[in-house]
Amino acid sequence: MACFIVPAAEAIVVTVAEKALEKKNSSAQVKLPAGEEKTEQVSKTGFVSKLKWLRNLLWGGCILLTFEHLWHGEIVPWFPFLTAAGDPVAKSEMLHEMATVGVTMAIVVTVAWIIMVAVSTAVEKKNAASKRAREK
């Protein structure tokens, strides 16, 4: 009915957080030692690019699910946009679906992202360790 709204809300939060982190990282300045005035930019942390994975997963899924809801006539291009919102019984059913299916969708996508980040971090650490071993 409107389960995609929960991951869409998470997608908005993730996008805002990602933009804020990106801004913070790009504006972060490092002062050089010995009183030098020249500053240099800090490179982006890997976390921001990993946060983009979650953003893309959530937005991608939400866009395609929105289309599915349009297909089934659960969303309309006029107010209140959700067909279930007009009827009190359907509305409570919709809210129940959002609380169960919607929340689970958001959790599953986030858990999948956490697994991706964990695997990627482990691979990066392994590569760095083997590089250090080769250099010695």
Partner 1 sequence: MTLLITVIAAAVCTVIWYKNAPDDKFKVSTLCFMFWGASLMWFVDAVFEYAELKAAYFTPAPEDMLNDTFLGLSVIALALVIWIAILLIKDPKKVLRKDK
CB 25 within 8 A of CB 42: yes
48 scored as a contact of partner 1 (CB under 8 A): no
Question: For partner 1, which is the closer residue by CB, 92 or 100?
Answer: 100
CB atoms near residue 3 (< 10 Å): 21
Question: For partner 1, which is the closer residue by CB, 42 or 63?
Answer: 63
Q: Which of 63, 41, 62, 48 is CA-nearest to residue 15?
A: 48
Q: Residue 45 in 3-state DSSP?
A: coil
What binding mask, one character per residue, do residues 50-89 give for partner 1 by CB under 8 A, x or -?
---x--xxxxxxxxxx-xx--x------------------
Which positions lie near partner 1, rule CB under 8 A? 3-4, 7, 53, 56-65, 67-68, 71, 100-101, 104-105, 108-109, 112
